[in-house]
A and B are shown apart, each in its own frame.
Chain A
Amino acid sequence: MDYLAVPIYNADRLKKFTIVGNFFPVRSILYYMTMVKTKTIASDDLLMDQLQNRDWKQYWLRLMARCFWVLRKRYKVKWTNEKLSEFSRSVVEEVINKIFIEKDRNWNIERYPDFDEFIVGVIDSHINNKFNTKDIESSIGENDFILDNNTESEPSNEEAIITKELRKQIFDELQKAGAEDDELLIFECLADGILKPNIIKDEIGISDKDFHNAWRRFKRRREVIQLNLAANGY
C-alpha cells in the first residue's frame, strides 16, 4: 500500500486513519478529502419527510430481509432463526435510531440521492461494525456515512463465463434432481447472465406468484450446482 506523510492539522479527525506513526494510506487521505468536498447533509425536513411518508410496516420487512441476507450470505452465520431474527431487528432499530433521533449517521444527499441506497448502506455498515468494530473505525469516519466495501457487485462478463459443457452438465444434474421446467429456465437465464428478476420472469413468461414459487424451489437446488462447480474447479 502507498503511504503519504501529511501534517496532522486536525488530529482528532484524522487519528482514525493512522496506521504507523503519522503516515496514512493514500486511499484514506483521498477518501477524507472527497468527503470534505462533497458533504451535503440532508436537512431535518428531508429526514422528517422520509420518516412520515414511508410505509414503514412494509419497509421494515425489507430492511429485516436485507439483514438476513447479509448475515447469511456475507457472514455465513449459522445461527438459529430466533437469533438471526433478534439480531436483525436490533440492527434495524439501531440504524433507524441513529439516523432519525441520535443523528449519528448523516445522509449525504449528494453522494446518496436515494434514501433507500443510504439506509441499506448504513445497515450493511452497522452489521460490519457489530462484527468488527476495529476494522470499521479505521476506514469510516464517525458521522459521515460511506458504503463499505462489502456492497454487492454484479459479476463482470469475464467472470460470468461458464463453459458450454459445464452448463449442460449442471442442467442435466438439475433435471435428474427433479427440477421442473420453470426452474431449468431460471438456470438458463442465469447462465446467460440475466440478473434482473423481472427480466427472468418475463423471459419465462410466468406470473409473479409462479415465479416466486419456482425461484424458491430453484434456490434449494443450490447444492447440486455447487457440487458441479466444485468438481470443475470453480
Chain B
Amino acid sequence: MATEKNNKNILDYIDNVELEMLKDDIEYTKKYLEEEGVNVVEEQDYADRYMKRIKFMAKAFTNKKQEESLLGKAIEIVKKSIQENAQKTTETLISMLQSKTPSFQYRKLEEWTDEEIRDVLRDVDLVKLMEELDKENS
C-alpha cells in the first residue's frame, strides 16, 4: 500500500496542526487516543511493564559487554605477567582463587590454555587481580 500524496491544501494544514499537537501536547494526545478507542490508563500500565523489561534487558546486555571487555583485558595482563614472572603470577592468582574456592588445585599457569585462564578468571575479582599484577610488575 502506498501513501497518497495530494496537493497541499487546507486539509493538509489540519493534519499538520494535529500532528504538531500530538508531538508537543500530551493532554491532547490522550484525548486523541481516547477518541480512537484506546484506554489510556491501561495502555500506560502496559507501557510501564514493557519498558521495565526493556530497561532490565538493556542493563543486562551492557553489564555483559563490560564484563567481557574487562575479561579480555585481564587475560592479556595475565598472559603478559606469566611471561614476565610466571611463578609470582601463579601465586597471586591461586591465592585469589583459593580464598573463594579453597579446594582449588594448584597447577603451573604457564601450562594453561587461554580457555582455561578465561574460565578461571570468571571466578575472580578482575579489578583486584589487575591491580595486584600491576603492583608486582611495576
A binds B: yes
B21 to chain A: which residues have CB within 8 Å?
Answer: 197, 215
Is A51 a contact partner of B58 (Cβ separation < 8 A)?
Answer: yes
* Shortest distance from the beta carbon of B50 to any chain A beta carbon, whole Å: 6
Q: Is B3 an interface residue (CB 8 A)?
A: yes
Is B38 a contact partner of A85 (Cβ separation < 8 A)?
Answer: yes
Is A195 a contact partner of B33 (Cβ separation < 8 A)?
Answer: no
B120 to chain A: which residues have CB within 8 Å?
Answer: none
Q: Is A134 an interface residue (CB 8 A)?
A: no
Q: What does DSSP make chain B's interface, helix, strand, loop or mixed?
A: helix
Which residue of the partner chain B has the closest CB to A84? B36
A170 to chain B: which residues have CB within 8 Å?
Answer: 10
B18 to chain A: which residues have CB within 8 Å?
Answer: 69, 215, 219
Residues of chain A at interface, number, CB under 8 A: 63
Is A101 a contact partner of B22 (Cβ separation < 8 A)?
Answer: no
Q: Is B65 an interface residue (CB 8 A)?
A: yes
- For chain B, the bracket of interface size reads 35 or more
- CB neighbors of B among A200-217 (8 A): 200, 208-209, 212, 215-216
Is B23 a contact partner of A62 (Cβ separation < 8 A)?
Answer: yes
Residues of B within 8 A of A (CB): 1-4, 7-33, 35-38, 40, 43-44, 46-48, 50-51, 54-55, 57-59, 61-62, 65
> Could you show 25 A-B contacts with beta carbons less than 8 Å apart?
A48-B58, A52-B55, A56-B47, A56-B48, A56-B51, A60-B47, A62-B22, A64-B38, A65-B29, A68-B33, A85-B36, A89-B43, A93-B50, A100-B54, A101-B54, A132-B1, A152-B15, A152-B19, A155-B13, A197-B17, A208-B27, A212-B25, A212-B28, A215-B21, A229-B9
Residues of A within 8 A of B (CB): 44, 47-48, 51-52, 56-58, 60-62, 64-66, 68-69, 73-76, 81-82, 84-85, 89, 93, 96-97, 100-101, 116, 120, 131-132, 150, 152, 154-156, 159-160, 162, 170, 187, 190-191, 193, 195-197, 200, 208-209, 212, 215-216, 218-219, 222, 225-226, 229, 234
